[in-house]
Amino acid sequence: MELENRLWNEVELAKHLNLTVACVRRWRLGRYGPEWRKLGRAVRYSPKAVQAWLESRPVGGDHQAEDK
């Protein structure tokens, strides 16, 4: 997946992750979630940093085929 070079705001990040903006804000305030940057009063996220963070998260579920 080709990621764009421009930075995302918290609304765009929330939309990308199918989460609420409030959730994204709680993550940031709790120092959890993808890396972010302050540009003046604005908060921005790098799509590449978001992807790297997602790939670092544990994967759940049973991914092994069961023999029946």
The reply to whether 68 falls in a domain is: no
The reply to whether 3 falls in a domain is: no
The reply to whether 33 falls in a domain is: yes
| Domain membership of residue 18 as a residue range | 10-54
The three-state secondary structure class of 45 is strand
The upper half-sphere exposure of residue 58, i.e. CA atoms within 13 Å in the direction of its Cβ, equals: 3
Torsion on CA atoms 28, 39, 15, 27, rounded to nearest 10? 0
* pLDDT at site 60: 86
Prediction pTM value: 0.78
Model confidence pLDDT, tens digit, residues 14-68: 999 999 999 999 999 999 999 999 999 999 999 999 999 999 999 888 766 555 4
